[in-house]
Chains A and B, each alone.
Chain A
Amino acid sequence: GFKQVTLSSYFTRR
């Protein structure tokens, strides 16, 4: 099954 992941952990907080 398809599990949507979020982006939160991907981008670095500048």
Chain B
Amino acid sequence: MLEARLPSAVTLKKIIDAVKELVQDANFDCNDSGIALQAMDSSHVALVALLMRAEGFDPYRCDRNIALGINFATLAKVMKCAGNDDNLTIKAGEDADVLSLMFESTNSDRISEFDIKLMDVDADHLGIPETDYSATIKMPSAEFQRICRDLSVMSETVTIEAVKDAVKFIASGDTGSGSITVKPNQAVDKKDMEVTVTLQEPVKLAFSLKYLNHFAKASTLAGSVTLSLSDDVPLMI
């Protein structure tokens, strides 16, 4: 039995909005520490890993481990029906074949209830190896989203070059090229506006902007993003 109540639905709305282009069908793995999602996109180019800790819900109850197989396009449609400030309760019975979602407006004058059919999603759990990255860049997430969007006008791929005291985003295509250089800024007032480049050694790698733009949709969830790069290993965002 799972019953979890989120004080405001906006968090789950943003999460689903951020992953729905990448994840078709996947399991919400629920246990007493929270709800986890781990899924690759259909072309196996990207992996989404998410944990919603039990502490973020009130109350949170999960009697035994349960995997809820969900079609994320359906869940995204249902989440559109929730108001940002509604409190949201998700429930799944013992051998549930539906996930129940309830949205309650702040003054409880509107209660919406949806059931979405659950499906069997056989997904193996992948181990993400611990990696000591050559370069780790921390920057405002909105800025990263802006860079990915801007450079998409020039090319479908972006080269990210991390050197001492700077990170450069370069896009070159048939019509021309563009580059955006971001430099570390110390002692900023807002932590989220900080830019730091931690370098073990310089690194220069190319990535598909299609996926970076998908990842950047999660920018509304956190003010700061960390990019970790090393040769021959996936970019960690």
Please give the residue numbers on chain A whose beta carbons come within 8 Å of chain B beta carbons, in ascending order.
2, 4-8, 10-14
8 Å CB contacts to A: which residues of B32-75? 40, 43-47
Decide: B43 and A6 in contact? CB cutoff 8 A: yes
Question: In the complex, what residues of A have CB within 8 A of residue B128's CB?
Answer: 11
The chain A residue sitting closest to B43, CB to CB, is: A6
Which residue numbers of B lie inside 8 Å of A, CB to CB?
40, 43-47, 124-129, 156-157, 206, 208, 233-234
Main secondary structure of the interface of B (DSSP, over half): loop
Q: Are B45 and A11 in contact (CB under 8 A)?
A: no
A sample of 17 inter-chain contacts (CB < 8 A) reads: A6-B43, A6-B45, A7-B44, A7-B46, A7-B234, A8-B40, A10-B129, A10-B234, A11-B47, A11-B127, A11-B128, A12-B126, A12-B127, A12-B129, A13-B124, A13-B125, A13-B126
Whole-angstrom CA separation of A3 from B119 in the bound complex: 34
Inside 8 A of B47's CB, which chain A residues have their CB?
A: 7, 11
